[in-house]
Amino acid sequence: MNGIKYLSLRFGKLVTKNSTRVLRQKYLRQMSTMQNPPDSELKPQFTIPKGIVGQPTCHTHPHLVPHGHLTCGITQMEYKERREVLVSKLIGEVDNVHRSHVIVIPAARKQYMSDKIPYVFRQNSDFFYLTGCLEPSAILVMVKPATRDTYKSILFVHDKDSHAELWEGPRTGCNVAATLFAVDEAQPVDNFNNFLHRTVAASKPSVLWYHNETPANPDIHETIRSSLRQGQAALEDPQRALHQMRVVKSPAEVELMKETCYIGSQSVNMAMACTKPGVSEHAISSVFEYTCRMSGAEHGAFPPVVAGGPRATHIHYVANNQLLDPRDMLLIDAGCQRWLYNSDISRTWPVSGKFSKHHRILYELVLSVQKRLIELLGEQRPALDQLFDHMCRLLGTSLQQEGILPKNIDTNELIGRAYRLCPHHVSHYLGLDVHDAPLVRRRVPVCANMVVTVEPGIYIRPDDTTVPEEFRGVGIRIEDDVLITEGDPIVLTDACAKEVHDIEAIVGKQNI
Ligand SMILES: [Mn+2]
């Protein structure tokens, strides 16, 4: 790609093959010294078995997993500690201490687009957070008897099977899974049904912790329900406690978030650089995805929005099948997933490479609101719902100042009008899921080590006669991913161009 020299000079960090390699090497070095005690200090259960297992390990895929880690950036010890924290949180939630607790966290099962044609497998985030295990249809069970202070963790996995492995690739199997995932015991998934019935029947009165509403694996749903009926166990949902844990990132998770945000940022820059009149939205989407994958992401975080002109006023436009018009702006909302951690970025830029007068007015208005909202996150640690109120107020006032909204309306009316122009929320938590930890309310104040998006927008439909004509048919969104710290918030996507002069310097400078 030719224009890369210019872009590298301009930004010093645009993705090239070379810079990605350097980044990864630096990262691997950092990881192996920072969080990993020397082997001699590890207890016997914390070793990564050599040999081929069902997922990448530091022995078989040293280019993906740093030495001594179970998954990139996360040690077996960290996964074990998460399980311990969850068990103690859940026990603390139930009044009666004389109860046994059985916690069931299923992995995702494979999904098919048509007969025998699977979608790319995506592990269930709750299950992955507690195990680091990438196997479909596995099940984590933790049993805490009323009579003991300790709990036992059992991982149900698919056992070795030469016929299945001939088709699908190697499995970890029960013999190795307990060591690899640092659990007390590994059993074949086929044993789960009997195991659960026996355990629940033998431990009355018991609490069965299981997320019943949207089952991650419908195949075991009936087993759980029949255990409940027979064993007279009380059903409780572990997800709220789990999401409270997930919403606050560990130091290792923060590093993973930095990585995914950096890759997403550079990939949006590349999409910006490849934007020219007549190019298709589809091509821009492909540039984004290609750059993400070449830089170490597994795939996109979600189907990207690549919307030229008035199509940007449809907030979830994903058809991406139109050609770009030089008079239009282009809105992208895209992100990538690296080791299951997601970035989520929106940018809007002129197809021609130069903002028109009215586009620039609207763009700078949204940009100043977005920057102010990031400051407010640091100054006031508001709940995300409060940040949304701030956005409506700020947008309303700015639009009034520019003469886009009338001056003779009261504050409530103004906020209402702003809300109609930006009908989506301004923020969500970000992490293993794009809309991360959904059970954590957006009414709770943000705190250090949360990662949240800040994404104000304005969408003026082509037929919106309440707004001056020259501003109609435009959608603008600017979205960054922000790490809350004890001090100022850190914009993890700050490598992604958003100032007018930076955007104008990049757009169109790269040949596809
Ligand atoms: Mn978002």
E strands within 125-213? 139-144, 152-157, 185-188, 206-209
Regarding whether 492 and 375 lie in a shared domain, the answer is yes
* Tokens of residue 108, six digits: 């995702």
Give 254 Cα–ligand 1 centroid separation in angstroms: 18
Cβ burial of 456 (10 Å; 0-12, 13-18, 19+) is: buried
Q: How many CA atoms lie within 13 A of 422 on its CB side?
A: 27
Q: How many CA atoms lie within 13 A of 211 on its CB side?
A: 21
Residue with token string 């590298």: 8
Instruction: Please report the sign of the dihedral spanned by the C-alpha atoms of residue 76, residue 81, residue 87, residue 90.
Output: negative
Give 455 Cα–ligand 1 centroid separation in angstroms: 7
- Show the 3-state SS of 157-214: ECCCCHHHHHHHCCCCCHHHHHHHCCCCEEEEHHHHHHHHHHHHHHCCCEEEECCCCC
pLDDT above 70 for 208: yes
Task: Name the pTM for this structure.
Answer: 0.91
Regarding whether 371 and 458 lie in a shared domain, the answer is yes
Domain-located, residue 5: no
Please report the pLDDT score of residue 226 as a whole number: 86
Domain-located, residue 51: no
In whole angstroms, what is the distance from residue 122 CA to residue 113 CA? 14
Give 414 Cα–ligand 1 centroid separation in angstroms: 25
96 band by pLDDT with thresholds 50, 70 and 90 = low
Query: pLDDT > 70: what percent of the chain?
Result: 90
pLDDT tens track for 474-497? 999 999 999 999 999 999 999 999
Domain-located, residue 292: yes
10 band by pLDDT with thresholds 50, 70 and 90 = very low
Give 429 Cα–ligand 1 centroid separation in angstroms: 9
Q: Which H/E stretch holds residue 235?
A: strand 234-236
205-222: average pLDDT: 90
Regarding whether 292 and 157 lie in a shared domain, the answer is no
Regarding whether 298 and 329 lie in a shared domain, the answer is yes
DSSP 8-state symbol, 250: P
Regarding whether 252 and 399 lie in a shared domain, the answer is yes
* Tokens of residue 159, six digits: 């056992």
Please report the pLDDT score of residue 11 as a whole number: 41
- The type of residue at 143 is V
Average pLDDT, the chain: 91
Give 335 Cα–ligand 1 centroid separation in angstroms: 9
Please report the pLDDT score of residue 45 as a whole number: 56
Give 453 Cα–ligand 1 centroid separation in angstroms: 6
In whole angstroms, what is the distance from residue 304 CA to residue 195 CA? 43
The residues pairing with 338 across neighbouring beta strands, listed in sequence order, are: 341
CA 48 vs. chain centroid, Å, equals 27
- The type of residue at 483 is L
Domain-located, residue 69: no
Give 133 Cα–ligand 1 centroid separation in angstroms: 27
Q: Do the beta carbons of residue 329 and residue 477 sit within 8 Å?
A: no
Give 106 Cα–ligand 1 centroid separation in angstroms: 27
Residues flanking ion ligand 1, Cβ below 5 Å: 344, 453
Give 480 Cα–ligand 1 centroid separation in angstroms: 8
In whole angstroms, what is the distance from residue 97 CA to residue 62 CA? 45
Give 405 Cα–ligand 1 centroid separation in angstroms: 26
Regarding whether 408 and 358 lie in a shared domain, the answer is yes
In whole angstroms, what is the distance from residue 362 CA to residue 476 CA? 8
- The type of residue at 228 is L
| Top-confidence residue, 167 or 6 | 167
300-305: average pLDDT: 98
12 band by pLDDT with thresholds 50, 70 and 90 = very low
Query: pLDDT > 90: what percent of the chain?
Result: 81
Give 205 Cα–ligand 1 centroid separation in angstroms: 43
Least confident of 16-30, 104-118, 285-299, 364-378: 16-30
pLDDT above 50 for 107: yes
Cβ burial of 490 (10 Å; 0-12, 13-18, 19+) is: middle
Give 427 Cα–ligand 1 centroid separation in angstroms: 7
Residue that finishes a domain, picked among 218, 245, 272: 245
Give 479 Cα–ligand 1 centroid separation in angstroms: 7
122 band by pLDDT with thresholds 50, 70 and 90 = very high
Domain-located, residue 60: no
Give 412 Cα–ligand 1 centroid separation in angstroms: 26
Regarding whether 264 and 158 lie in a shared domain, the answer is no
Regarding whether 335 and 202 lie in a shared domain, the answer is no
CATH of the domain at 320: 3.90.230.10
In whole angstroms, what is the distance from residue 22 CA to residue 30 CA? 12
Give 469 Cα–ligand 1 centroid separation in angstroms: 29
Give 346 Cα–ligand 1 centroid separation in angstroms: 8
203 band by pLDDT with thresholds 50, 70 and 90 = confident
Q: Do the beta carbons of residue 308 and residue 321 sit within 8 Å?
A: no
136 band by pLDDT with thresholds 50, 70 and 90 = very high
339-368: average pLDDT: 97
CATH of the domain at 193: 3.40.350.10
E strands within 292-447? 299-300, 305-308, 329-334, 336-338, 341-342, 345-350
Please report the pLDDT score of residue 19 as a whole number: 45
In whole angstroms, what is the distance from residue 70 CA to residue 78 CA? 9
Q: Determine the structural domain holding residue 327 and report its residue range.
A: 248-506
pLDDT above 60 for 501: yes
Please report the pLDDT score of residue 344 as a whole number: 98
Q: Which H/E stretch holds residue 383?
A: none
pLDDT above 70 for 282: yes
Radius of gyration of the chain (CA): 25
In whole angstroms, what is the distance from residue 136 CA to residue 190 CA? 14
N residues, the chain: 512
pLDDT tens track for 447-463? 999 999 999 999 999 99
Residue that finishes a domain, picked among 245, 265, 296: 245
DSSP 8-state symbol, 121: P
Q: Which of 388, 400, 395 is nearest to 418 (CA)?
A: 395
Tell me the backbone φ, ψ of residue 290, rounded to 5 degrees. Answer: -60, -45
Tell me the backbone φ, ψ of residue 336, rounded to 5 degrees. Answer: -130, 165
Give 78 Cα–ligand 1 centroid separation in angstroms: 28
Q: Do the beta carbons of residue 508 and residue 346 sit within 8 Å?
A: no
pLDDT tens track for 382-408? 999 999 999 999 999 999 999 999 998
Give 249 Cα–ligand 1 centroid separation in angstroms: 18
Give 209 Cα–ligand 1 centroid separation in angstroms: 30
Please report the pLDDT score of residue 113 as a whole number: 95
pLDDT tens track for 435-450? 999 999 999 999 999 9
117-129: average pLDDT: 97
Please report the pLDDT score of residue 233 as a whole number: 85
290-313: average pLDDT: 97
Give 435 Cα–ligand 1 centroid separation in angstroms: 7
- Count of the separate structural domains present in the chain: 2
- Show the 3-state SS of 412-476: HHHHHHHHHHCCCCCCCECCCCCCCCCCCCCCCECCCCCEEEECCEEEECCCCCCCCHHHCCEEE
Q: What distances in angstroms separate CA 132 from CA 72, 83, 124, one per listed residue? A: 10, 11, 10
In whole angstroms, what is the distance from residue 51 CA to residue 46 CA? 16
150-162: average pLDDT: 96
Regarding whether 326 and 202 lie in a shared domain, the answer is no
Which residues, in sequence order, are CB contacts of 308 under 8 Å at separation 6+?
281, 322, 323, 324, 325, 328, 329, 330, 331, 351
Give 373 Cα–ligand 1 centroid separation in angstroms: 15
Residue that finishes a domain, picked among 214, 245, 276: 245
Domain-located, residue 182: yes
Give 164 Cα–ligand 1 centroid separation in angstroms: 39
Q: Do the beta carbons of residue 464 and residue 474 sit within 8 Å?
A: no
Give 32 Cα–ligand 1 centroid separation in angstroms: 32
Regarding whether 294 and 238 lie in a shared domain, the answer is no
Regarding whether 275 and 188 lie in a shared domain, the answer is no
Q: How many CA atoms lie within 13 A of 370 on its CB side?
A: 28
Give 312 Cα–ligand 1 centroid separation in angstroms: 15
Domain-located, residue 2: no
Give 13 Cα–ligand 1 centroid separation in angstroms: 24
Determine how β-strand 206-209 pairs with β-strand 234-236: parallel
Please report the pLDDT score of residue 243 as a whole number: 97
Domain-located, residue 217: yes
Give 401 Cα–ligand 1 centroid separation in angstroms: 27
Give 310 Cα–ligand 1 centroid separation in angstroms: 20
Give 417 Cα–ligand 1 centroid separation in angstroms: 22
Regarding whether 82 and 231 lie in a shared domain, the answer is yes
340-350: average pLDDT: 98
Give 265 Cα–ligand 1 centroid separation in angstroms: 14
